[in-house]
Structure 1
Amino acid sequence: MQFIKKYLSLIVLLISVVTILSGLTQVVAPGFVLGVIGAEVNATSAHFFGIVGMFMALFGALMVHNIYAVQTSPVTVFWCGIQKLGAFVAVSLGVFNGVFSVLAMGVAIFDLFSAGIFFFFIKTIKDT
């Protein structure tokens, strides 16, 4: 079990770092990211997309902090997993409603995968 936890922790850490970096990118260059995923870019959409990026960065940082804490909190992992699940639903609805291009489904699938990994990670925390 220690072997699985070691590599699972690394995967969770990588997902969290990607979440931080992509969130910060949305904060700094929301118009660029909106353009990449095929959304309309205007002052309002860029502003709110930047706010979403801030929360992504915060949840990613929370997970990194949690991984390096003396004791990893399953509650924190759960809520970070819920954030990832919520992001999957939100982006998928955006694609379904024509707000984002189908390219954004790559982001949604990554978030769904991440949520699954986080929820599995909870089990490894409780088993130790």
Structure 2
Amino acid sequence: MAKVTGMGGFFFKSRDPKALGEWYAQHLGLSIEGWGGVRFDDDAARSGYTVWCPFAADTDYFAPSAQPYMINFRVDDLDGMLARLREGGVTVDDRVEESEFGRFGWIMDPEGTRIELWQPPA
């Protein structure tokens, strides 16, 4: 059965993502990468990693959610997970993206939070 294998990341809106990243670097020691976030390699035996990333407050990446954050979960079988969620009546975005980072799909939870599902590359 397709399932979540871990937290892929936490994305949230910020009034000033660059300044906020600098604050986290200075005070908490996060190593902010050029794309504006941090990648935590939490288990070398498992594909994927965990990302922390502030987005601009006016981003539409979380749309149609009105929430100021989006959760990303790693999954082991994106197609199977999306099919099972559709069968269960969950709102599933028709779009699936593929890139060098893996495959991505999106759903909405009952409270209107957009959730990104990520199947890392093999």
More strand as a share of residues: 2
More helix as a share of residues: 1
TM-score (norm 2): 0.27
TM-score (norm 1): 0.26
